[in-house]
Chains A and B, each alone.
Chain A
């Protein structure tokens, strides 16, 4: 049995969250009617000239500083020539030899808790293409150029990943970095981040890289993971059956979980890059770069460390909450209001996340706000409600029934903490279950503790789950022990 090693490199396209295109003043807002945001420059009308957007450079520099990279102080745009209907100019304006961001690195956390550094080869600025709609328009394709000219940074990694899990961890980390910087909205379903994966396999222990394939345009972490696993399997099967991997571009279909060859190297395009004569070199000075460095927002790793330090969270919990800027903000707002970081962390990672995942919503669209969650946690803390009832209240909050206090009041969910009343119920349950009492009295001390739990069911039933569990425990324990 031969042992194979997988080698993965990623090219990641990140749409920058600018208001306008990289070379024109047309809006980049998502979801507009087709071609209403495609101006003369985006359409490549004769006589137009591009003027670069300063914000796109600022965002690219922010990314470069976040990954500890050298910033290209003189970056040059090139023309990458190819023909496709969603590219009106017949070339994509991009960067090649003098990109805005040089070599850097990104740390990822692996499942076993260890960290690994993934090297970034470079990141360059370029323009996005339009969209082709292949639905049948009398045998023709429809072209929407609203996306044409949207600023992108293409982040190119070194082939440093050795499994689909590492590749996904790296992709998630990039997502975390760019959303924390606020340079990308991170909306994968809208194509704000797209991944091309380069995959090859080699015998474990060998140095030489195998022939790689490139699977293009994956727009979810799940698809990426599945596509890599499928491709690794295909390559290993191919080689073990005596075949050879062909260098080619492949397309993965997430619906059918299959992939097919798009074009092989022989048909590969010769892009005939050359410096764009319409654009001068862009020079950035140290003052400009330093000013951006001063204003860099908190990055995920720093935030994770702070959550451990300031809120006493575990490394794992802190990492989960710190990865996404919006989630981190939600958690911190809730914590500030309710004063209990641990409870807030549990609720955000538990009920809130589960409900959001279930409805495929982002935290920004959560029907329960951070303040509402804090209101609920406050009622758990002051023993108004138990954890179990709190879940019921949360459900009602999620369904828009109001704040925790109003729901607790309206539904009469307040915890029963009246000693006299609880004693009465405990007495009734003890009287009504003589066999259980016998059994408890006959058990040794160790087993008694466990068997006391058996009384909780009937007591909770009698109080509709509203009895204060701590108080019941105390009362019950005392009464049973008195019978010994």
Chain B
């Protein structure tokens, strides 16, 4: 991982990585990737890929409304709300 990889990841994850810590972050992520390399060295020939570590299948739910309106309660935790809407810094596509 070089500095530009870190900059791109930080941008995608919307995380600020200060100039001073870039090298340190690059090193720790490289260490993690070394672990991944070790895993990838394992022989998986003939082993079906798993989508989940648990050997189980998903239970499904019946299509019945079970949640009622708790907007007032939820919005007490929002930094800003108005006319029932959550307010966020202006987004323009």
Contact = CB atoms under 8 A, between A and B. Distances in A.
Interface of A: 18-20, 24-27, 33-41, 43, 45, 51-57, 76, 81, 83-85, 98, 132-134, 137, 139-145, 251, 262, 269-270, 272, 275, 277, 279-283
Contact of B84 (A19, A33, A283): A33
Interface stretch (B17-25, B29-37, B38-46, B64-72): B64-72
Most A CB contacts (10 A, CB to CB) among B63, B71, B74 go to B63
A269 B63 CA distance: 34
A137 B68 CA distance: 27
A34 B85 contact: yes
Contacts of A55: 62-63
B80 interface: yes
A18 B63 contact: yes
B67 to A, nearest CB: 4
B57 A280 contact: yes
Contacts of B16: none
B87 A39 contact: no
Contacts of B66: 20, 25
B61 A53 contact: yes
B58 A140 contact: no
A39 B90 contact: no
A142 B87 contact: yes
Contacts of B75: 35
A90 B31 CA distance: 26
Given A141-B89, A270-B12, A275-B51, A25 B84 contact: no
Contact of A26 (B52, B65, B83, B87): B65
Nearest to B73: A40
B93 A251 contact: yes
A114 B3 CA distance: 58
B61 A25 contact: yes
A142 B85 contact: yes
Given A39-B70, A52-B58, A145-B86, A281 B51 contact: yes
A404 to B, nearest CB: 42
A59 B33 CA distance: 41
B56 interface: yes
A51 B52 CA distance: 16
Nearest to A133: B85
Contacts of B84: 33-36, 144
Contacts of A279: 52, 58
A24 B85 CA distance: 20
A134 B90 contact: yes
Most A CB contacts (10 A, CB to CB) among B12, B58, B84, B89 go to B58
Given A35-B86, A134-B90, A280 B56 contact: yes
A25 B70 CA distance: 13
Contact of B52 (A39, A53, A270, A275): A275
Contacts of A275: 51-52
A25 B63 CA distance: 7
A40 B75 CA distance: 11
A85 B85 CA distance: 12
A286 B6 CA distance: 47
Contacts of B52: 275, 277, 279-281
A54 B61 contact: yes
A51 to B, nearest CB: 5
Nearest to B91: A141
A56 B63 CA distance: 8
Contacts of A142: 82-83, 85-87
Contacts of A51: 59-61
Contacts of A41: 67
A77 to B, nearest CB: 8
A142 B86 CA distance: 5
B67 A24 contact: yes
28 contacts: A19-B64, A19-B65, A24-B67, A25-B66, A27-B65, A27-B67, A34-B84, A34-B85, A36-B69, A37-B69, A41-B67, A52-B60, A53-B63, A54-B63, A55-B62, A76-B51, A81-B12, A132-B91, A133-B85, A139-B90, A140-B80, A140-B87, A140-B89, A141-B89, A142-B83, A262-B93, A279-B58, A280-B58
A43 B85 contact: no
Given A36-B71, A140-B87, A270-B12, A281 B58 contact: yes
A481 B85 CA distance: 81
A250 B60 CA distance: 37
